[in-house]
Structure 1
Amino acid sequence: MAGLLMRRVAVLGATGSIGRSALDVIARHPGAMRASVLAAGSQVDALLEACRRHRPDDAAIADESAWPRLRDGLRDAGLPTRAHAGKDAIAALAGGDGCDTVVAAIVGAAGLDSTLAAARAGKRLLLANKESLVLAGELVMATARDHGARVIPIDSEHNAIFQCLPPDGACDDVRRLVLTASGGPFRGRDRASLADVTPAQAVAHPKWSMGPKISVDSATLMNKGLEVIEAHHLFGLPAARIDVLVHPQSLVHSLVEFVDGSTLAQLGLPDMRTALAVGLGWPRRIESGVGGLDLLAQSRLDFEAPDTDAFPCLALAFGALEAGGTAPAVLNAANEEAVSAFLQGRIAFLSIPALVEDALAALPARPAASLEALREADALARDTTRRALARYAR
């Protein structure tokens, strides 16, 4: 680690699985980086525990009603950490002088403001909040370019593509990108067999440890659909040059096919700390805490085409990307509302794609001329989906 400047890292979404993994990597390099800002949604106790362990300069909770508990907890722990609350405070910390690197791991559209703030401030932006790119990808990437921010994707699939591309990230010689999908907990099942799956079954991912919303997205393959839209914005390639393969071992994280017929793939054990170490250390390689890959022990690598009849969310996402404009924002918002209803036991698993399809049909794509237009599309899609829930109630 000699020669690296001390990185001051803001971990937004510090109590989630990606945030905890980021803090694990940071703690392995005390002479080169520290967690200077920690932010969470509503889990005050978990945030306080992280503050006791990592001693940040600032901590923020999105739930403003939780601010007194955060302030008092920091004081009782004898920490000098400053307490903040609200999404505006989190955005201000992401764009402020207290950090030079931002891990954007707030789940959902709620992470957009802080992502944009970090991009406007020219930070190194480790982007794990896929909804920021799905909702406003052109705006996020243009803001990063205009202000000199370096965006390093932390989704394992996009991070794999990032590693396979040349250092300048140019895709001039790329024929296509291939994102891999584990297939989730229901791989191989037909549509009829998915009618009665439970939220507990849907969040039991076979390879990755993730939050409930992302786990359900993986089970429906919407997660992969959102990643296709992300890849379009991150790497500037159209939908026609982005493919998806189901790879149940989750060892090949993505592939890049070049115009000369060569294909480069990034392989590794399914652990988010590898991608986070790439983002925190780039262009150098740093210790992540993840072991090496023993291909002899793994024995085989399998690939198959995704089943878009059983898992129509993937096809819906490709359609939204091709429609452009506000369609991806509608897709994302409708999906968030539908997944929330499913996790609450209000609708069946197969109602998730049905609700998303209904929202896309009810709200045709319009030009995404501004952030306001995208927020309006997001709000309309949420309202449309909430009103439609009654038709799918269990």
Structure 2
Amino acid sequence: MKRGWLFLAGFLLVVSASVCAHRLDEYLEATTISVARDHLTLQLRLTPGVTVAPQLIADIGISGDGPIPYSLQQSYAQQVRRDLRLSIDDAAQPLRLISETYPTAEAMRNGVGDILLTFDAPLPAGGPTHRLAFENHHQRAIAVYLVNCLVPGDPRISIGAQNRNVDQSRYQLDFSVGGMVQPTHATVARHASQPVDDRGIIGTFFVRGVHHILNGYDHLLFACALVLAVTTLWDLVKVVTAFTVAHSITLTLAALNLVHLPTNVIEPLISASIVFVALQNVFCPGSARGRGRLLAAFFFGLFHGLGFAGGLLDMMHAMPGTAVLLAILGFSLGVEIGHQIVLLPLFGLLRCARGLRCNVVSRVHYSMGLQRIGSASIAMAGLYYLGVALIGVS
């Protein structure tokens, strides 16, 4: 019995090790490109999450929580510029800093500060059609990149194909000034099958969905509490399906701006769901299975979906409608894979631990002991984070 508890305790330690603020654990670098007749404008919205903010603050050279000195603003903006590459028709183009806006250091430490840097570059003379290539290599170790082109305000400018690599650190745009983009044979071939751009968006958001779950302590604790009460693979399939259907509904509705709840409402509800399911496992194990558990998984899954949407909306800056749908698909798939990376090994570990006893009666008590001790640990973690969430509300 001790071995089974040790296995379970070790797994729970691994899960609880990722208790950082899961929506704010990277450096989000979103670039929007605006095409005019004689120049291009690039705006970078740089959002450091709470986990990486101290590193960024040190890189900038900030001391204290007040406004950032202008000299440091200029120095960091030039550092960013050196990590960017822009070319048009295979000719490198210089980027000129035209404006910068910085939050306070305190706002960055809290994960709510955006750095806005605006650059422009000349559009070289030549024919009406052009191909732009943009690369962003700034802070690769902690960065998440996004790139989009704004709809031109000038009707004489036409946007053609947009292609990105999987992490969106490299971006390519075909556009024309004064005429329509003439598609090349390669472009026609891409659009005749699966567009590279579509795969890039799905791949990017798939990776972020997996990352979001594996760094989301609340969702993992809730899912683990659900799994602790199941005894068969069929029970696992049913409860995970109920949870998946529910959070997929609200994730999609929230990402499409059809449903919205403030974070100070969602976070306490998610923490409360952890406590409810875990305590149900401890004190009412009989009701932790069957229709009641499926209803609980579905009901609370609706709120978890809104929590997932927070991580998705943080990444969808100025994305067009089609790209939004692809982003939702990729992110949802990533969320489910992230769940299975945790839930299937936990279920297998529990099956192995429960099989350590061969006597039928002792096996039942042993299994119940595993469920209760694991659920009690999760309930304590949930109570702690519920308190943190409620303090944040007040």
TM-score relative to the length of structure 1: 0.26
Which fold has the larger relative contact order, with Cα–Cα distance below 8 Å and residues 6 or more apart in sequence? 2
Which has more helix, going by share of residues?
A: 2
